[in-house]
Structure 1
Amino acid sequence: MRILHVFETIPGGPATYFNETVPTQIKALGADNVRVIVPDAHVSFLKNTPASCIATFKRRKRYRSLPALALAVLREVKAFRPDIIHAHSTFAGIIVRAIGVLPGRFPPIIYCPHGWVFDMETLGQFRHPARWLERMLSPFCSSIVAISQHEYRQGLKAGISANRMVVIENGISSQTPPIVPTEWVDPRTKVLFVGRLDRQKGVDILLKAAAELDGKAVFRVIGAHVTNKTEIVATLPANVELLGWKSPEEIAGHLAVCDVVAMPSRWEGFGLVALEAMRASKPVIASAVGGLQSVVSDGKTGLLFPTGDHKALVAAIASRGPGEWAQMGSAGYERFMERYRSERTNDELMQLYRRVSDDWPVESREIA
């Protein structure tokens, strides 16, 4: 079986998903049978992937790069002749399915939104057109992978057929990366945030909560500024430390010494940071939104609070002591091992590939 993965962008969640799935497929199927299309500027995010498996396109400004992505897809389909095309995220899904509609033979398409674009709060008035577009394009792929029950339910609400979707929850390796040791000595509750410093991830909610917890909690923020850095720094509470982006090994070190991980997202298809926390036996305080509602078992492996309510986040952080956080973290680790290991994700993806490939007529696999 030959698999072609198509990514329009990689940094963030797509990179984690890529590195947890594609190298495993290469190991199982052989480097000659797995190929990926990624932006040329994002190759450095890929791990354990031979250069021979990587095809690139020039990605500059997003919308202007889509024709280059389309040409790369056409080129690789003709040269690589995949049995399956797996398109990741909205723009790759649009391009691949649009090509599949054109006259000629084409391999079966599997599409994974990695969080529906119409779930984005910032999309505003364009959420309805985005929902319509996803519904219209849904018949032009063999299967849509929903990464959480929330994403599956949102797909149903958008009018996408249940027969077109399959839930394959995200997973990560049970093996933690090597830890870069770090110290964090403070009698207050130590709260770690990992993510982009933007509206989706709710860093502003975190900072409002931190300002009210100066005597009770201390915060470390790992992530990049993608909005107004000056504004964030100017309003930074004294008990918050901005660390910028860190390597997985460095993040593992910070996870090891924190008490709890905070995820105050406004929308979230899944929330892979929660899995990294659970793997490290750390509880998660998260917004009751999207896939986080399934990942975090409220009151057992962490706490859920109303989206956007910084007062509720303050109360959640102040509600437990070190011993109770540690107990929740242990429960989170057990839940992770039972449900969220990448071995399960990879097995379910391979089963889907085989099922779709077996159902697809041989004479329809190649572009004419």
Structure 2
Amino acid sequence: MKNKSLNILQISAAKFYGGGEVHLYHLTERLIERGHNLTVVVKDRIVKNFKNLDTDLRSLPLKNVLDLFSLYNLVKIIKEKEIDIIHCHTGIDYWLGAMAKGIAKRGKVIATRHSLNSLGDSFAHKKLYKSIDKFIVVSNRVKEKIIDPDVILESKVEVVYNGVDINRFNPELIDSKSVKEEFEIKDDELIVGTVGRLGGNKNQELLIKAAAEVDNKKLKVKYLIVGDDVTNDKHYERKLKELITNLDLKDRVVLTGFRSDIPQLMKAFDVMVFPTKKEAFGIVAIEAMAMSKPVIASAVGGLKEIVTDETTGLLFSVDDKEELVKAMVTLLSKPELRERIGYKGCQRVMNNFTLSNMVGKIENIYLKLI
């Protein structure tokens, strides 16, 4: 029997297009395919990232919890569109979505928690959390972080892992020749890559320091650090460039800047490194695993739920350069181990982390609330 078609409002006050917004894009895209009516409200600076969606796309300031202009317009949308589900993705959205529901007197509010940041504990915050109908979290680690027996009951929280688009991240359909040509990768060179916004939490500097300790005479390696520094002063990017120069790594480490061809880049990687200091989930890790690439990741947050150490990847202690060097040398020097771990990682993604699984679980949460 076909599920009921729902009127769904997606809200995100995110300032940048990152992992949470990629999640929102794919969720919206797949919900439309399933016959639901979607309205998406985001800040003006990331509207361009959603323009390809066949949906009612709107931009609002979504400045803060006292943004009456945005609140007024959200109430208007909820009433005019007869919204059933108000799905919020950042802290500001939780407030605006819950208040808009109260004023419009319709809809169920769902809040997805994409980060490990602590929730507020004021009286007003506690009242807000009680008014939210359901919390979705992207890992069990996030669930542990937000459950409070006096405010957010465990029964109100559902874990739904992020999913990867296995059609886009399909190693059988992708060629990496252009990437190797662009970055002048020789046939006897291996590639270690990392993907993510440049910043202290993503910890790309650890990979650069580790690269300096890998014997380049025994292992010829190029390092591709993919991502851009979205801050105005580019402080972290300048820090990385200075580090590369000081460690005499200019011929081995490349800062690629922002790239849209992530599947092609990952296809070229021999090893994917994820040196983050804190991570609620780690969607880049499952993208690399879907591409059958062995992943080396910090043993932190949701990454410990994604990567099974020594089976579907290798884990190392957060910010531990020696452990990272050891893991890289192990994989770089053993092609059969890279292949075996890459294969098992891909199988784990197919069984647990597909976009279809994610969307199906979220759709079921919606339907149970109506």
TM bucket by the smaller chain?
A: 0.7 to 0.9
Pair 1:65–1:23, CA change in 2 (3 A): farther
Q: Which residue in the other structure is 2:90 paired with?
A: 89
Superposition CA RMSD, Å? 2.4
List gaps (5 residues or longer) in structure 2. 1-5
Q: Distance in 2 between matches of 1:132 and 1:303?
A: 43
Extract structure 1 runs of 4+ deviating beyond 4 A.
62-68, 129-136, 177-180
Q: Secondary structure at the match of 1:96?
A: helix
Q: Which residue in the other structure is 2:179 paired with?
A: 182
CA displacement 1:24-62 (0-9 Å, x = unmatched): 1112225xx211111122122126412x51121136xx5
Query: TM-score, length-normalised on structure 2?
Result: 0.85
Residue 65 of structure 1 deviates from its aligned partner by 9.1
Which residue of 135, 138, 144 maps to 1:147? 138
One-letter amino acid matched to 2:145 = Q
Residue 189 of structure 1 deviates from its aligned partner by 4.0
List gaps (5 residues or longer) in structure 1. 119-126, 358-368
CA displacement 1:200-244 (0-9 Å, x = unmatched): 211122222122225144310110113513222111133210100
CA displacement 1:158-195 (0-9 Å, x = unmatched): 86310110111111221026746321336454211100
Q: Distance in 2 between matches of 1:74 and 1:291?
A: 35
Which residue of 37, 44, 52 maps to 1:40? 44
Q: How many residues align?
A: 340
Q: Distance in 1 between matches of 2:189 and 2:360?
A: 42
Percent identity over the alignment? 26
Q: Which residue in the other structure is 2:203 paired with?
A: 202
Q: Which residue in the other structure is 1:171 paired with?
A: 163
1:90·1:117 contact (CA, 8 Å) conserved in 2? no
2:42·2:60 contact (CA, 8 Å) conserved in 1? yes
Pair 1:172–1:255, CA change in 2 (3 A): same
Q: Secondary structure at the match of 2:296?
A: strand
Residue 354 of structure 1 deviates from its aligned partner by 0.6
Residue 288 of structure 1 deviates from its aligned partner by 0.7
One-letter amino acid matched to 2:8 = I
Residue 130 of structure 1 deviates from its aligned partner by 5.9
Deviating more after overlay: 131-140 vs 255-264: 131-140
Q: Distance in 1 between matches of 2:269 and 2:135?
A: 37
Query: TM-score, length-normalised on structure 1?
Result: 0.85
More helix by share: 1
Residue 98 of structure 1 deviates from its aligned partner by 4.0
Q: Which residue in the other structure is 1:75 paired with?
A: 76
Q: Secondary structure at the match of 1:117?
A: coil
CA displacement 1:70-113 (0-9 Å, x = unmatched): 3332221122120111111222123222444x566231101101
Q: Which residue in the other structure is 2:193 paired with?
A: 192
One-letter amino acid matched to 1:152 = K
Which residue of 52, 55, 60 maps to 2:58? 55
Q: Which residue in the other structure is 1:111 paired with?
A: 111
Greater RCO structure (CA 8 Å; 6+ sep): 1
Pair 1:310–1:133, CA change in 2 (3 A): farther
Q: Secondary structure at the match of 1:286?
A: strand
Pair 1:20–1:182, CA change in 2 (3 A): same
